[in-house]
Amino acid sequence: MAVVGPLCAEIETTVGADLVSEYIWRGNKCGDAALQPSLGLSAAGLDLLLWGSVGIANPSDVKEFDITLSYSVGGATAGITDYWFSAGDEPNGRYFRYKEGATNHIFEAFAGYDFCFGSICWYTVFAGADFLASSDRAFSSYCEVSAPFSIGGVDWTASLGMVPFESALYGTEGFAVTNISVTAIKPIDITERFSLPISAGLRVNPYTEMAYFVFGVSF
């Protein structure tokens, strides 16, 4: 993500995009090759992030548009994300449909802490299209621990993600480990002033018995 510049003395704007060979989210495949743009505003620990994903290899892939508002102080972060997915029958698939039981929005709260040597974050869906087969709200949740490290001058991140109980969103029937991943990021120098970060990572979902090797480029 590249820094464009400050809008004023206290607000910073960031804009960027990732190109990925597959869209893998928390151990689950959400689509084939995709372009994922982002736009962010930050000020005094408060962050607003707009993020999207659109398939470029498979036009039928679900389009996604997320809005995240978060606040960070020290190593602690908490926030809310509004996820929207284009899939679904009309009119539920329309963006401005928020009525309970007739929307493709999912609202999730999260809180985490970065210990420098590693981080942990908990996510729980509290509203939107997330129900069990019994029609009860699922409160789908996900917890992930991550740790950065370096090998051969390259930055790596190892992550372990778990779903604690039955979830409609993740398709689990109880506790499940859904994401074990190791990713390396290396900047490739294009000019003296410009480099292009590339990434490659192995992502394994023990619950679904699937494995993915994902390549990405950040602009």
- Chain centroid, CA 8 distance in Å: 28
| Between 164 and 92, residue with greater pLDDT | 164
Mean per-residue pLDDT, 194-210: 95
Looking at domain 2-218, its CATH architecture is Beta Barrel (2.40)
Task: Flag the least confident range among 9-18, 33-42, 48-57.
Answer: 9-18
CA gap 45, 13 in Å, rounded: 13
**What distance in Å separates the CA atoms of residue 63 and residue 199, rounded to the nearest whole number?**
23
For 76-127, the pLDDT digits (tens) are: 999 999 999 998 666 667 899 888 888 999 999 999 999 999 999 999 999 9
Mean model confidence pLDDT for the chain: 92
- Residues 4-37 have pLDDT tens digits of 455 454 899 999 999 999 999 999 999 999 999 9
Given a cut of 80, whether residue 176 has pLDDT beyond it is yes
The residues, ordered by sequence, that sit 6+ positions from 25 with a Cβ below 8 Å of its Cβ are: none
Mean pLDDT, to the nearest integer, of 141-164?
97
Q: How far apart are CA 137 and CA 185, in angstroms?
A: 38
How confident is residue 2, by pLDDT bands cut at 50, 70 and 90?
Answer: very low
Q: Count Cβ atoms below 10 Å from residue 177 Cβ, excluding itself.
A: 15
Read off the amino acid at residue 78: A
Taking residues 140-153, report their average pLDDT: 96
Task: Average the pLDDT over 148-161 and give the result.
Answer: 96
